[in-house]
Amino acid sequence: MAAQVITANRLVDGAVVYLSADGQWVQSLEEASVAEGEAAAAALVAAGDRAVAGRLVVAPYLIEVDRGPEGIQPRRYRERLRATGPSIPFGGGMKG
Amino acid sequence: MYQYDAHDRQLVLDRVEQFRGQVQRRLSGELSEEEFKPLRLMNGLYLQLHAYMLRIAIPYGTLSSAQLRKLAHIARRYDRGYGHFTTRQNLQFNWPALADTPDILAELAEVEMHAIQTSGNCIRNVTADHFAGAAAGEIEDPRIWCEIIRQWSTFHPEFSFLPRKFKIAVTATEQDRAALRVHDIGLRLLRDHAGQLGFEVMVGGGQGRTPVLAKTIRPFLAAEHLLSYLEAILRTYNLLGRRDNLYKSRIKILVDSVGPEEFTRLVEEEWRQMPHDRIDLPEAEIQRIRAHFAPPPFEALPQRDAEFELRRRGDPAFARWVRANVSPHKQPGYAIVTLSLKPHGGIPGDATAEQMDAVADLADRYSFGEIRVTHEQNLALVHVRQRDLGALWHSLAELNLATPNVGLATDIIACPGLDYCSLANARSIPVAQRISLALQDLDRLTGVGELKIKISGCINACGHHHVGHIGILGVDKKGEEFYQITLGGSADETASLGEIVGPAFSSERVVWAVETIIATYLSLRRGPEERFLDAYRRIGPDPFKEALYAAH
Ligand code: SF4
């Protein structure tokens, strides 16, 4: 079973957040709490449910990640983009 | 332009205050996300990959300069300084905070704008030919009829919960610039032999997972019966359309399953039984709405402006821009100018707050204070004196809005894709950017001629890939981005659906594939006058398949 992290969108602004080891919802994937095994993953899900009830986040779910020299890497491409933000500069249409 | 009456204004203000209460209840925990989601969607607020997204209706693609300045202000104050114009003639803000959205909607209401009918299973914001009121050969301004439909459909109690969303488009020229055949209903205004005003009624078009071209169910419907006839179509759909399966719920599936003849019969039968005079507008009301779309006070000018002609002959860069971005106007001495939101290497459809403000100023100066949004993600100033084209061109160039590529290969439609959209399989925008950079040489671009490339990040087809001359669809192959190419689609009056050319290409190979398709076309066309689409229709897919796949 792959290592897992729980992610959601923050209620107030929709920002992508991850549950950190000290129980905060943070924007940096690097600070996310990584669960190995089912029990740890279930604990993350329970924390996610509490955060929904507490009006902090919307629709939390687990994602699979790998831990390597570059830190925590989501397996799916979509999650890599969620973690880094749009791959293009904003506004004005110009590249660079 | 159409002005709201007191009733409209109150309705929109009430909705803003109602939504303010709903947002507060969501933030205080009284409403769960399940309860809140349908409410926010009814107000155009989506939750995307990285943030909320607010979709704002621009009815029939027409904006006043005051409205565009308001959008610029919102972009600056509440968002990240830009907005994204979509293929539905809407504007999307990508980064609004939830708590700010009631204030944004209140600001929009000040200029008679809102986000109603931009989401949900209702009759969506009606779209029109973006050259309405200006196009050479136009029967009459199609926005008159869009406005009539808007008033009839907004909050229509019977049609607020249709089986699925419902899109209507209206045009009034032979050329179709509004993609009528891929709408649930397409309406083309025309006159019969006796000179009577009416509509060709097309039903059951759509893109998405199952692309279908709309069928003409009535070649001529007298214009005064438009609303009763639409109501008959909607009722038939509301009654028989499937609500049990999301993928089968659009009217295109219904028309297909009962057959166009039977569907037509059902509609006609329903229509005959209806009390027309209770639904159709009285002539006086049609005239009242028509008066709002009276032409602006044009000057009496000669057909061609001598100074403009002189400049065009003497300045190749200006001539190139005129050829691609300027279209004929029905009023002598005037022209229609398309502002390219496709700078080479840029993001299709994005405009900064500064650009919006500057375009509003240019509209005031040169085009009676009116701006249009095109479904091809550009803007247009549609009533410009030929005499002013030179000065306008300079101003647009300074704003990076004068890329001479309208209708050419770098005028690419691209949906937000995986950079923003939570439904996406793959990114669209970076692919558009790379293709655009690869094809940016202006002489080559002009040499290739008309070529419409359209990119969607998933099968929902917001980027209209099915009707691109070259369509590109992002797919997910084992978690990586791949792109499936279709050829031969078209959204104009000769509408056709593209055909899949073969297996999908990796992100690295997709630019090569487009270049290979273009090179194949250039080598096989009869001459520069044979456009890509015409050549494809003549020679078919085989030479392209051969060039793309034979060596592998
Ligand atoms: S086509 Fe798909 S990816 Fe693109 S905007 Fe529409 S839903 Fe999103």
pLDDT at B552: 55
CATH, range B134-291: 3.30.413.10
**Ligand 1 atom closest to Cα of B420?**
8
Q: How far is the CA of B480 from the centre of ligand 1 (A)?
A: 17
Rounded mean pLDDT of chain B?
A: 94
Query: Of A47, A41, A1, nearest to A25 (Cα)?
Result: A47
Q: Is A37 a member of any domain?
A: yes
**Is B98 close to A86, i.e. CB distance below 8 A?**
no
Type of residue at B441: D
Q: Kindly list the residues from chain A whose CB atom is less than 8 angstroms away from the CB atom of residue B347.
A: 88, 92-93
Q: Where are the domains of chain B?
A: 6-110, 134-291, 306-398, 413-549
Third-level CATH fold of B306-398: Sulfite Reductase Hemoprotein; domain 2 (3.90.480)
Cα–Cα dist B202/B237, whole Å = 14
Between the CA of B416 and the centroid of ligand 1 the distance, in Å, is 6
B121 confidence band (pLDDT: 50, 70, 90): confident
Instruction: Specify if A52 maps to a domain.
Output: yes
Using CA positions, which residue lies closest to atom 6 of ligand 1?
B462
Cα–Cα distances (Å) from B166 to B127, B204, B267, in that order, read: 12, 10, 17
pLDDT at position B17 over 60: yes
Q: Tell me whether residue A96 is in a domain.
A: no
Is there a common fold for B134-291 and B306-398?
no
Instruction: State how far the Cα of B56 lies from the Cα of B50, in Å rounded to an integer.
Output: 19
Q: Closest residue of B to A76, CA-based?
A: B479
B137-160: average pLDDT: 89
Task: For residue A32, give Cα distances in angstroms to A48, A57, A77.
Answer: 13, 15, 18
Is residue A52 less than 8 Å (CB to CB) from chain B? yes
Q: What is the 3-state secondary structure (H, E, C) of B288-337?
A: HHHHHCCCCCCCCCCCCCHHHHHHHHHCHHHHHHHHHHEEEECCCCEEEE
Subunit contact B479:A75, Cβ cutoff 8 A = yes
Q: How many CA atoms lie within 13 A of B293 on its CB side?
A: 18
pLDDT surpassing 50 at residue A62: yes
Q: What is the pLDDT of residues B263-286, one digit of tens each?
A: 999 999 999 999 988 899 999 999
CB B524 within 8 A of CB B539: yes
Is the confidence at residue B551, as pLDDT, over 70? Answer: no
Distance CA B327, CA B454 (A): 22
A50 touches chain B (CB under 8 A): no
Per-residue pLDDT, B504: 97
**pLDDT at residue number A15:** 95
* Ligand 1 pocket check for B426: Cβ under 6 Å: no
Minimum-distance CB partner of A95 among B346, B355, B479: B346
| pLDDT tens digit sequence for A15-34 | 999 999 999 999 999 999 99
Is the beta carbon of B457 within 6 A of some atom in ligand 1?
A: yes
- Please give the distance of CA B378 from its chain centroid, rounded to a whole number: 9
Q: Is the dihedral of CA B470, B476, B478, B480 positive or negative?
A: positive
Quote the minimal CA–CA distance from B479 to chain A in Å.
5
Given an 8 Å threshold on Cβ–Cβ distance, is A90 in contact with B82? yes
> Is the CATH code 3.30.413.10 the one for domain B413-549?
yes
Whose Cα sits closest to atom 2 in ligand 1?
Answer: B458
Would you say the CB of residue B517 lies under 6 angstroms from ligand 1?
no
Residue B247's pLDDT is 67
Cβ neighbours around B517 below 10 Å, total: 23
Taking CB atoms and an 8 Å cutoff, what residues of chain A touch B80? 90-91
Domain that holds residue A57: 3-84
Regarding the beta carbon of B423 and ligand 1, being less than 6 Å apart is answered yes
Tell whether A90 is covered by a domain.
no
The domain total for chain A is 1
CB contacts < 8 A (A, B): 99
pLDDT tens track for B189-218: 999 999 999 999 999 999 999 999 999 999
How high is the pLDDT of residue B385?
A: 98
State how far residue A40 is from chain B, nearest Cα, in angstroms: 25
Tell me how far apart the alpha carbons of residues B349 and B375 are, in angstroms, rounded to a whole number.
10
**Total-model pTM:** 0.94
Does the Cβ of B424 fall within 6 Å of ligand 1? yes
pLDDT at B358 over 50: yes
Structure token pair of residue B436: 């655009």
Q: State whether the beta carbon of B421 lies less than 6 angstroms from ligand 1.
A: yes
User: Taking residues B371-392, what's their average pLDDT?
Assistant: 97
> Residue A91: what pLDDT?
57
Architecture of the domain defined by B6-110: Alpha-Beta Complex (3.90)
Q: How many residues does chain B have?
A: 552
Token output for B231: 């109501």
Q: What's the rounded mean pLDDT across residues B434-452?
A: 97
Amino acid at B87: T
CB contacts of B47 in chain A (<8 Å) are 9, 14, 58-59
Please, is B58 exposed, middle or buried when counting C-beta atoms within 10 Å of its C-beta (0-12, 13-18, 19+)? buried
- Does residue B461's CB lie within 6 angstroms of at least one atom of ligand 1? yes
Per-residue confidence at A86, pLDDT binned at 50, 70, 90? very high
Contacts of B273 (CB under 8 A, 6+ apart): none
Say what the pLDDT of residue B99 is: 95
Residue B125: per-residue pLDDT: 84
- Rounded distance from Cα B154 to ligand 1 centre (Å): 25
Residue A92: pLDDT band (50, 70, 90) is very low
Q: Ligand 1, from B55, B423, B481: best to mutate by most atoms within 8 Å of Cβ? A: B423
